[in-house]
Amino acid sequence: MPTAAVLGASGYTGQETLDRVLAHPELELVALGSDSLAGRGAAALDVRLNGNLPPFVPNAEALAAGAEVVFACLGHEEAAALEPPAGAVVVDLSGAHRLDDPALYAAWYGFEHPRPETLGDWSYALPELAPPVGPLIANPGCYATAALLALGPVADLLDPDGVVIDAKSGVSGAGRSLQGSSHAGFVLENVSPYRVGSHQHAPEIAQVLGFPVCFVPHLLPVRRGLLVTCYARADADAVRGRLDEAYTGSDVVRILPDDVAPELARVQSTDAAEIAVFSDRATGTAVVVCALDNLGKGAAGQAVQNANLALGLGETAGLRLNGVLV
């Protein structure tokens, strides 16, 4: 059974990844990394975790524990400085290894990449479009996953001028640390855009599509789930046909029947995504909508899917593909 380590296990994506590793039929957890919980038992994270699990150790120690697969659930800058252990599969859930051009890190992430010469060693892996190549895997961003599932297979059918992606996410997308912008008093009963024109997923989406898009994220007063509505000049029937073809047989991405709209409620707490295509009667604009869970297909679910592919396991082993009926 391949052994696994989770770094940054006390954060939202770390906790979700840990949950999937524990439910995975073919992975054995051997190291639980958390700088903030180091020295404490697993129950310090959640009382339901018991003494059979390894105790928390500092992230550097978990990285060096000899696990065959390491899930790095850390902040961007911390992950950028990681030295991957030789021979291990490493799945980085942060943005630290997603962009090919190191100069983009200063421009979009606000820090100089500390190991720019290593960026070419990592593959940007969105399994439905580009499965991992090699052991170092840059897991796509949550918004980027939804936008690319919606537009990646049809990029050549779109007029690249004026593609707009209107995106909305639950507050867990901002991580567990306390910030004024994710404070209940600001978020509840409220909706607002943020990082308009400067969100770091814009260059990630452009890198895959081959052209820039206007990407505007909004914060929703819900805990989890995200939805992107993509507007482009294109033939909606051709777009629907291509997406149907791209996801036929997929256990993860579902193309909805005509006139059924994606919903957060159906994808929350799952590792699945759903997509629908519409044509705007007034302007002929093609509208592609994708919903997924930012912590599922947008993070931990996709990380485990990528690890499965890299380790030669069943692609969906350990994933949660069905939510409850709502």
- What is the set of active-site residues? 142
Considering only 84, 141, 152, 203, the residue that binds ligand NAP (CB under 6 A) is 141
Distance of alpha carbon 70 from its chain centroid, rounded?
Answer: 16
Q: Establish if 213 lies at the interface with ligand NAP (CB under 6 A).
A: no
Q: Establish if 142 lies at the interface with ligand NAP (CB under 6 A).
A: yes
Q: CA–CA separation, 213 vs 160, rounded Å?
A: 8
- Angle formed at CA 55 by CA 50 and CA 56, multiple of 5 degrees: 125
Listed in order, strand segments (DSSP E) in 17-68 are: 28-33, 56-57
State which residue, 218 or 233, has the beta carbon closest to ligand NAP. Answer: 218
Q: CA–CA separation, 59 vs 32, rounded Å?
A: 8
Residues 92-111 that bind ligand NAP (CB under 6 A): 93-95
Q: Which stretch binds ligand NAP (CB under 6 A): 168-176, 185-193, 249-257, 272-280?
A: 168-176
CB of 34 to ligand NAP, least distance (A): 3
Write the DSSP symbol of residue 106.
Answer: I
Q: Which stretch binds ligand NAP (CB under 6 A): 6-14, 118-126, 191-199, 306-314?
A: 6-14
Considering only 177, 180, 189, 258, the residue that binds ligand NAP (CB under 6 A) is 177
Q: Which stretch binds ligand NAP (CB under 6 A): 31-39, 212-220, 254-262, 312-320?
A: 31-39
- Angle formed at CA 75 by CA 72 and CA 77, multiple of 5 degrees: 105
Which residues fall within 8 angstroms of residue 69, CB to CB, at 6 or more apart? Answer: 2, 3, 4, 5, 27, 88, 89, 90, 91, 307, 310, 311
The residues of the shown chain that bind ligand NAP, judged by CB under 6 A, are 8-14, 34-37, 59, 73-76, 93-95, 141-142, 172-173, 175-177, 294-295, 298-299
